[in-house]
Structure 1
């Protein structure tokens, strides 16, 4: 089956998703499921292979996200109901002033994003962004986009995120150099996609519905202190940083095992939820029965989101099984491009096809690595970052992040393309341009 045919039916399948949601008014879960079936049949996959790919895709994405999203949502609910979110919102309002709030959320997101995955950072920080928005009455997009930008750019190019670490291993690049260069690139690229883009787009788009995250209803009789509020929200970050630091600090084996265990995102969030139950709940006058009710209420809105994300994972897996990645690799070998440009373009095409930045980054690295193995003068750390930059571009309906941002910010599908897809593409091309500039000097 020709590469052009496979890429063509992929484009048609993506169009079917968009048409189903916007024209036929299907739920996104149905649209993605129908598109997966269409793509598998059109690609000539056996029917059972399509079904197996669907199951694998759903299980793969939900197994890594379900617990994280659930626990992060519970933590956000406790932050909201106790008034801790409002305390932090008021702190940032006083410290930075309303005019600088987009910059405050950007730098907070950039710092927190280094040791955590995009999805973890999103579910931890977004309830606070909502609280800030309700306090200041500013545009939600003006405050949220800088934070999302910081989380995304770090996820794409900064170690120790999994895609960057995998590419470092494939290219045999120096992790320290990649970290330094990626921080130099992520700051200006994140500003372009964050505060600058937020100022522009927030004046042109208003979310069509309320964000599907915790409401800012305060059930406690008194607010927790600012210290307790920050401790609760930063606890999972502190635990995850502890795990990241293990390889660089001499310690007994049992302590290293314990820190690695507590630093796993799922465990870190679980510990933080129980801490929030006590510090923000029982200690502040919220009874056990109300805590149980708040937990149940916080999980209810996740059902639709998780169905959509699961179907997006299935669509991605059918894309992979259909051989689209191989088709892109075949085309890439015929291109006469510099290694940096080739890595960027190949990663971008795979991202568009599969919807996963991590899959795009690791797959593109595997394609490009043999090509550059015998070349001289290739800056391997910058090659890692160029590949990571390509893995961010043109995120759309087969990306879990697309649906997370849509549902959490209350956007329509059309608005999500204008906000999330444009944001990711800005980050991608800005980061790559900075890589080309750095390549002139290092």
Structure 2
């Protein structure tokens, strides 16, 4: 495993846009991040605008000419959007087809039916609150969240799954935390560690890691992490916060109001089958993993088989193939006309505009960091530190996550700072560097994170209860994730 005591060269050999010393560069980094944090948390400015202003402040404090700082930011924004924007858009289209066709509902209903329906409740506690052993339901919920969370964003996954979580807890007389924590853990692990989610994709692009290898190693780490932070931790979370589904989220009939519900005319005529739905969702994953496997077994750029899989397993082709297949296996199976499919695709792109802008601006901030010479500074200062590069990457991501509240901003910014460390890393360790950053970006979600407030309101908890459940769960994911990364680095 590479350590910072090993001599490393910066990946970018171009001269920095400033000749400032280490002290000035350090102050510039702190000033840039402080401005971003202040604007997001205190003044509630959109992260896109905050990142632009923070980038300019960083360049100015570092002593870079303003035109050079602007050029660096613009270059980083364009490169990031070009590398990840199309993939994010394709992932959004696939997720929208999955939701609107009823495919997501089919996966949920099938797995819940296999899990045994209501389970065996222990009944109300002395305080009159509900308790439940949960039975197989927590495991079913983390499995559902993992599958649903592969192609869609975390916020969309919450909207899809919360109605199911509340309904299962209500009808089965389960503690809400016993059912809800596994679902949240499955979604969060996918969001932080597994491409094609925006953060991992942007980090892969910044570090120049192999996407297929990152995906394969990410799955290896994600499975035990989701189990520990989901079904296992939910036993303790249910004891700490033993609550029933909030009545304000339930209809008088006992059914759960579905945030996805629109007009009755928008409901699909039928729903695609479970098998074909899961196969469609997993198609891009299988294609990218196949490319990674061929790369390992063949390792000859001139080999015809490897060249074929380089195309077939590229993220663009894999996701594009999944979207085209989904139009038939999901859209047509649900009775969608060509016009309805076109409308679904169109409506999926609007909501991701903000995500694309934040990811792009994060890339601009990253490029400003790099061009200012921050990456080289980190190498020079830490060259003789006896600390793992993977652990350093995690710590940097943790610090930015705690400050900004955004996992995506933390991932992109930290990846830009540690990208030079990957210059002499092997393919597998560069992928682990991405996963270390992803794990750090999930650490301790609190009041400056929009996801914190979403979970609080949906589950009807107060701030203290949310900190004891959701925030601890996120921290557990982050810690277990970096432990998994460090252990894997010893054997790959």
In structure 2, the gaps of 5 or more residues are 1-19, 119-133, 170-175, 246-258, 401-409, 457-462
Equivalent position of 1:302 in the other structure: 352
Paired with 1:274 and 1:434, the residues of 2 have a C-alpha distance of 35
Equivalent position of 1:134 in the other structure: 163
Equivalent position of 1:152 in the other structure: 192
Equivalent position of 1:30 in the other structure: 49
Alpha-carbon spacing, 1:40–1:233, altered in 2? closer, same or farther (3 Å): same
Paired with 1:322 and 1:422, the residues of 2 have a C-alpha distance of 36
In structure 1, the gaps of 5 or more residues are 114-119, 169-174, 207-213, 370-379
Q: Deviations over 1:82-106 (max 9, x none)?
A: 1111000112222346845554465
State the Cα distance separating 1:268 from its structure 2 match. Answer: 1.6
State the Cα distance separating 1:238 from its structure 2 match. Answer: 2.6
Paired residue secondary structure (1:300): helix
Alpha-carbon spacing, 1:408–1:277, altered in 2? closer, same or farther (3 Å): farther
Paired with 2:92 and 2:350, the residues of 1 have a C-alpha distance of 10
Q: Deviations over 1:19-77 (max 9, x none)?
A: 21232232221111111111111111122211111111111221122111111111111
Paired with 2:234 and 2:348, the residues of 1 have a C-alpha distance of 28
Paired with 2:51 and 2:276, the residues of 1 have a C-alpha distance of 42
- Matched residues, number: 393
Q: What is the RMSD of the two structures over their aligned residues, measured on CA atoms?
A: 5.0
Paired with 2:378 and 2:102, the residues of 1 have a C-alpha distance of 50
Equivalent position of 1:264 in the other structure: 314
Equivalent position of 2:111 in the other structure: 92
Equivalent position of 2:260 in the other structure: 215
Q: Deviations over 1:119-174 (max 9, x none)?
A: x935278756643432332676651333332563567xx9xx95999789xxxxxx
State the Cα distance separating 1:346 from its structure 2 match. Answer: 3.5
Matches within 5 A, 1:290-369: 290-335=340-385, 337=386, 341-348=387-394, 351=397, 355-356=411-412, 359=416, 362-366=419-423
Task: Tell me the TM-score normalized by structure 2.
Answer: 0.63
Alpha-carbon spacing, 1:278–1:58, altered in 2? closer, same or farther (3 Å): same
Paired residue secondary structure (2:152): helix
State the Cα distance separating 1:295 from its structure 2 match. Answer: 1.4
State the Cα distance separating 1:13 from its structure 2 match. Answer: 1.8
Q: Are the equivalent residues in 2 in contact too, given 1:6–1:43 (CA < 8 A)? A: yes
Equivalent position of 2:336 in the other structure: 286
Q: Are the equivalent residues in 1 in contact too, given 2:52–2:365 (CA < 8 A)? A: yes
Paired with 2:279 and 2:428, the residues of 1 have a C-alpha distance of 36
Equivalent position of 2:91 in the other structure: 72
Paired with 2:383 and 2:35, the residues of 1 have a C-alpha distance of 30
Paired residue secondary structure (1:24): coil
Paired with 1:191 and 1:435, the residues of 2 have a C-alpha distance of 16
Q: Deviations over 1:289-310 (max 9, x none)?
A: 1221121111111112211221
Paired with 2:103 and 2:261, the residues of 1 have a C-alpha distance of 10
Paired residue secondary structure (1:26): coil
State the Cα distance separating 1:332 from its structure 2 match. Answer: 1.0
Q: Are the equivalent residues in 1 in contact too, given 2:145–2:184 (CA < 8 A)? A: no
Matches within 5 A, 1:248-259: 256-259=306-309
Paired residue secondary structure (1:301): helix
- Comparing 417-426 with 39-48, greater Cα deviation is found at 417-426
Q: Are the equivalent residues in 2 in contact too, given 1:185–1:431 (CA < 8 A)? A: yes
Paired with 1:21 and 1:348, the residues of 2 have a C-alpha distance of 22
Paired with 1:366 and 1:185, the residues of 2 have a C-alpha distance of 23
Equivalent position of 1:372 in the other structure: none
Q: Are the equivalent residues in 2 in contact too, given 1:391–1:428 (CA < 8 A)? A: no
Alpha-carbon spacing, 1:299–1:146, altered in 2? closer, same or farther (3 Å): same
Task: Tell me the TM-score normalized by structure 1.
Answer: 0.69
Paired with 1:266 and 1:395, the residues of 2 have a C-alpha distance of 25
Q: Are the equivalent residues in 2 in contact too, given 1:344–1:387 (CA < 8 A)? A: yes
The reply on whether 1:237 has 2:289 as its aligned counterpart is no
- Comparing 68-77 with 143-152, greater Cα deviation is found at 143-152
Paired with 1:197 and 1:360, the residues of 2 have a C-alpha distance of 33
Q: Are the equivalent residues in 1 in contact too, given 2:439–2:482 (CA < 8 A)? A: no
Alpha-carbon spacing, 1:395–1:226, altered in 2? closer, same or farther (3 Å): closer
Paired with 1:364 and 1:151, the residues of 2 have a C-alpha distance of 24
Paired with 1:162 and 1:196, the residues of 2 have a C-alpha distance of 30
Paired with 2:336 and 2:102, the residues of 1 have a C-alpha distance of 11
Q: Deviations over 1:357-405 (max 9, x none)?
A: 65566533448x7xxxxxxxxxx999879856753464399xxxx9xx9
Q: Deviations over 1:403-423 (max 9, x none)?
A: xx95899589xx9x9799977
Instruction: Report which of the two has the higher share of helix.
Output: 1
